[in-house]
């Protein structure tokens, strides 16, 4: 595969293969954890859990067997940054996994790659093989007595919900990818019941840079609460779609200019499970504390029908709900029905209000992140585009 | 299934179990390999996997039914998955779907009579910046136009 060289301040900054592993092996485990805490790096998948805290819990466990899992089940509509990282920068991700293994005391790492990315599996397997040859994987890595670590790749089979960490672990264990009850969290009871670190591809890539360049350096980028930079997957109505590395705190309006988006009506921040913002909200910033996202930004211009967009999102959730818990299984179907009613003009405002209520109930009562976030587009589109949907065009949107 | 075919299938699954280990956690990789080579996981294969992993056949079926890339009914040699998620949708997925349907004479969800093509919609393929996109078996094709999509489809071997 052809690798593209990209420019960026943190993730895409200069890095040589093995650098992070070498730097980590010279440090004490506690110092790596402290460095991570200094950096204040948070999970890049979207949930934003502090990575240092996650690693500390697993590192503190006395269990003999521990696991590092790289969550490469990038299924959120509008997200493709992990594909770019794995194709163009596998060294960052795999080195990050080895560092994690060393820090928490694990000897096995697993990459859970989504089934749709089968075509990048072979290049990744080859890359792992070359790492083994250079003793960056295997026994006594880089001469460090007693540190063994190896990485294997496991494929998903087309289930969005497997991006949820406990569903992912279920899938790895050979089960249906249904989320587990939390607590206990994977840091205590993960893969095969052992303490497990599950990190997003981009988080591991960030870790590689932090170990080499330090937490202070990382913290110089971004905002106070959202440190470092973020890879954004930009798609939709713009001239230059693609993956952009931008510091946290970038305004949506700045981003629109950067990607050459014109006549923009709506921005869906955070994928199908994210929120849809209208023109008056384009001065909001991309950050965990404001408009949070795992990286997906979808841009829609004035010619797009918001009801059509919402219908597409709800169809997605109806299909991808695992069906385990009632709020998500039934709720999404009801919300989709509601969208279809709006589309055909056969609704009452009273019923729409009831559906909004249902959406808010799903947010608090669903078992996993899928059902908790699937009402987001429904609620935000109907709220932020109320005038267009219910009052524009004579109140008819079909 | 003929006895000879059954024996061949058993032998194949035994090899897979040896390769991945007789644990429950090997179930998905084993099923994925059978799916890749046979385009479906027939009843007999499910029973054999269950027997060799020492689990109930229902467990195997339950797992297959969960994942959209695994199926028990036979499919074509080339499974075409056109992305239906919003960014591919607004870039003209519908036009491409229609062109492919016209060309192959079947609808989405169906398989051609010669068992060469199966048409399906898939959710986000992660090619949103280059939509519309489709997968043909494991390979991805992006920046599709109706003409290009048909040409690619006719060209696969």
A339-394 residue pLDDT tens:
999 999 899 999 999 999 999 999 999 999 999 999 999 999 999 999 999 987 65
Q: Measured between beta carbons, which residues in chain A are less than 8 angstroms from residue B92? A: none
Contact B90/A192, CB-based, under 8 Å? Answer: no
Give the pLDDT confidence of B106-131 residue by residue, as tens digits. Answer: 999 999 999 999 999 999 999 999 99
Q: What pLDDT was estimated at residue A46?
A: 84
Contact A155/B130, CB-based, under 8 Å? Answer: no
Q: What's the pLDDT band for B78 if we cut at 50, 70, 90? A: very high
Q: Which of B26, B63, B123 sits opposite A320 (nearest CB)?
A: B123
Residues of chain A with CATH 1.20.1440.230: 306-393
Contact B90/A236, CB-based, under 8 Å? Answer: yes
Residue B50 at interface with chain A, using a CB cutoff of 8 Å: no
Q: Measured between beta carbons, which residues in chain A are less than 8 angstroms from residue B24? A: 173-175
Residue A211 CB neighbours (<10 A): 28
CB distance B52 to B91 below 8 Å: no
Q: What percent of chain B has pLDDT over 70?
A: 100
Residue B133 at interface with chain A, using a CB cutoff of 8 Å: no
User: Which residue from A77, A74, A128, A68 is spatially nearest to A103, judged by alpha carbons?
Assistant: A68
Q: Measured between beta carbons, which residues in chain B are less than 8 angstroms from residue A168? A: none
Q: What pLDDT was estimated at residue A129?
A: 98
Exposure class string for A233-250: b at 16+ Cβ within 10 A, else e: bbbbbbeebbbbbbbbbb
Provide mean pLDDT across the span B15-42: 97
Contact B90/A300, CB-based, under 8 Å? Answer: yes
Q: Which of B66, B126, B131 sits opposite A74 (nearest CB)?
A: B126
Q: Measured between beta carbons, which residues in chain A are less than 8 angstroms from residue B108? A: none
Rounded CA separation A148/A136 (Å): 10
Residue A272 CB neighbours (<10 A): 30
Instruction: Look up residue B109 and give its two tokens.
Output: 């969800």
Q: Under CATH, which number does the domain A19-219 receive?
A: 3.40.50.11540
Rounded CA separation A90/A130 (Å): 12
Q: Which of B24, B87, B127 sits opposite A236 (nearest CB)?
A: B87
Residues of chain A with CATH 3.40.50.11540: 19-219
Q: What's the pLDDT band for A67 if we cut at 50, 70, 90? A: very high
Q: Is the peptide bond before A359 cis (omega within 30 degrees of 0)?
A: no
Whether A57 shows a pLDDT value over 90: the answer reads yes
Provide mean pLDDT across the span A160-172: 97
Q: What pLDDT was estimated at residue A2?
A: 67
Residues of chain B with CATH 3.40.30.10: 78-155
Nearest chain A Cα distance for residue B85, angstroms = 7
Provide mean pLDDT across the span A258-263: 96
Whether B99 shows a pLDDT value over 90: the answer reads yes
Whether A93 shows a pLDDT value over 50: the answer reads yes
Averaged confidence pLDDT in chain A: 95
Domain A229-301: CATH architecture, name and number where available: Roll (3.10)
For testing contact with chain A, the best of B65, B128, B139 (most A CBs within 10 A):
B128
Q: What pLDDT was estimated at residue A3?
A: 74
Q: Measured between beta carbons, which residues in chain A are less than 8 angstroms from residue B50? A: none
Rounded CA separation A174/A154 (Å): 11
Searching chain B, which residue's CA lies closest to the CA of residue A153?
B29
Q: Residue B15: which residues within 8 A CB-CB, separation 6 or more?
A: none
For testing contact with chain B, the best of A4, A79, A81, A115 (most B CBs within 10 A):
A115
Q: Measured between beta carbons, which residues in chain A are less than 8 angstroms from residue B89? A: 312
For testing contact with chain A, the best of B26, B61, B88, B129 (most A CBs within 10 A):
B129
Across the A:B interface, residue pairs with CB atoms under 8 Å apart total 122
DSSP A210-233: HHHH-HHHHHTSB-SSSBSEEEEE
Q: Measured between beta carbons, which residues in chain B are less than 8 angstroms from residue A322? A: 66
| Fold category of B78-155 in CATH | Glutaredoxin (3.40.30)
The C-alpha torsion from B135 through B141 and B147 to B151, rounded to 10°, is -80
Nearest chain A Cα distance for residue B138, angstroms = 6
Averaged confidence pLDDT in chain B: 96
pTM, rounded to two decimals: 0.96
Instruction: Look up residue A92 and give its two tokens.
Output: 């960052």
Whether A395 shows a pLDDT value over 70: the answer reads no
Contact A174/B27, CB-based, under 8 Å? Answer: yes
At B30 the three-state DSSP class reads: helix
Contact A118/B129, CB-based, under 8 Å? Answer: no
Contact B128/A272, CB-based, under 8 Å? Answer: no
Q: Residue A253: which residues within 8 A CB-CB, separation 6 or more?
A: A282, A283
Residue A181 CB neighbours (<10 A): 8
User: Which residue from A33, A65, A85 is spatially nearest to A232, judged by alpha carbons?
Assistant: A85
ipTM field: 0.96
Q: Under CATH, which number does the domain B3-66 receive?
A: 1.10.10
Rounded CA separation A364/A353 (Å): 17
Residues of chain A with CATH 3.10.20.600: 229-301
Q: Under CATH, which number does the domain A306-393 receive?
A: 1.20.1440.230
Tell me the residue length of chain B.
157
Q: Which of A80, A156, A157 sits opposite B129 (nearest CB)?
A: A80
User: Which residue from A340, A384, A371 is spatially nearest to A273, judged by alpha carbons?
Assistant: A371
CA angle B48, B70, A332 (to 5 degrees): 130
Searching chain A, which residue's CA lies closest to the CA of residue B55?
A174
For testing contact with chain A, the best of B92, B126, B138, B139 (most A CBs within 10 A):
B126
Nearest chain B Cα distance for residue A172, angstroms = 6
Q: What pLDDT was estimated at residue A398?
A: 45
């Amino acid at each position: 595969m052809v690798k593209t060289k990209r420019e960026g301040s943190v993730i895409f900054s200069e890095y040589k293969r093995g650098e992070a592993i070498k730097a980590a092996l010279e440090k004490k485990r506690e110092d790596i954890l402290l460095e991570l805490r200094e950096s204040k790096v948070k999970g890049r998948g979207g949930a934003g859990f502090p990575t240092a805290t996650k690693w500390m819990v697993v590192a503190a466990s006395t269990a003999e067997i521990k696991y590092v899992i790289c969550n490469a089940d990038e299924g959120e509509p509008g997200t493709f940054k992990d594909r770019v990282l794995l194709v163009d920068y596998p060294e960052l991700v795999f080195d990050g996994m080895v560092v994690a293994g060393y820090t928490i005391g694990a000897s096995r790492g697993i990459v859970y790659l989504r089934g749709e990315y089968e075509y990048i599996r072979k290049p990744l397997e080859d890359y792992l093989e070359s790492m083994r040859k250079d003793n960056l994987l295997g026994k006594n890595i880089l001469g460090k007595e007693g540190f063994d670590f190896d990485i294997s790749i496991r494929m998903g089979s087309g289930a969005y919900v497997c991006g949820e960490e406990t569903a992912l672990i279920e899938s790895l264990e050979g089960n249906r990818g249904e989320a587990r009850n939390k607590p206990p969290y994977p840091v205590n009871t993960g893969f095969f019941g052992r303490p497990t670190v599950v990190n997003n591809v981009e988080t591991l890539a960030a870790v590689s840079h932090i170990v080499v360049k330090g937490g202070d350096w990382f913290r110089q980028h971004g905002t106070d609460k959202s440190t470092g930079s973020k890879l954004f997957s930009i798609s939709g109505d713009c001239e230059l779609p693609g993956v952009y590395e931008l510091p946290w705190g970038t305004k949506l309006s700045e981003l629109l200019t950067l990607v050459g988006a014109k006549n923009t009506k709506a921005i869906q921040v955070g994928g199908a499970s994210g929120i849809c913002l209208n023109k008056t909200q384009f001065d909001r910033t991309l950050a965990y504390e404001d408009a949070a996202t795992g990286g997906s930004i979808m841009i829609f211009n004035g010619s797009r029908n918001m009801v059509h967009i919402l219908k597409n999102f709800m169809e997605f959730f109806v299909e991808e709900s695992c069906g385990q818990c009632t709020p998500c299984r039934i709720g999404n179907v009801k919300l989709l029905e509601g969208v279809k009613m709006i589309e055909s003009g056969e609704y009452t405002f009273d019923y729409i209000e009831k559906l909004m209520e249902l959406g808010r109930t799903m947010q608090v009562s669903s078992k996993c992140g899928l059902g908790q976030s699937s009402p987001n587009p429904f609620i935000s589109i109907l709220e932020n585009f109320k005038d267009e949907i219910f009052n524009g065009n004579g109140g008819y949107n079909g | 299934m003929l006895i000879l075919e059954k024996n061949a299938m058993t032998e194949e699954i035994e090899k897979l179990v040896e390769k991945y280990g007789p644990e429950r956690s090997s179930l998905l990789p084993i099923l994925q390999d059978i799916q890749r080579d046979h385009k479906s996981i027939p009843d007999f294969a499910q029973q054999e996997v269950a027997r060799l992993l020492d689990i109930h056949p229902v467990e195997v079926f339950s797992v297959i039914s969960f994942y959209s890339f695994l199926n028990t009914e036979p499919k074509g040699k080339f499974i075409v998955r056109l992305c239906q998620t919003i960014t591919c949708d607004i870039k003209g997925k519908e036009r491409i779907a229609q062109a492919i349907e016209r060309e192959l004479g079947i609808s989405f969800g169906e398989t051609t009579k010669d068992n060469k093509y199966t048409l399906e919609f898939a959710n986000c393929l992660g090619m949103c910046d280059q939509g519309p996109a489709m997968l043909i078996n494991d390979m991805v094709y992006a920046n599709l136009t109706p003409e290009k999509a048909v040409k690619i489809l006719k060209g696969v071997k």
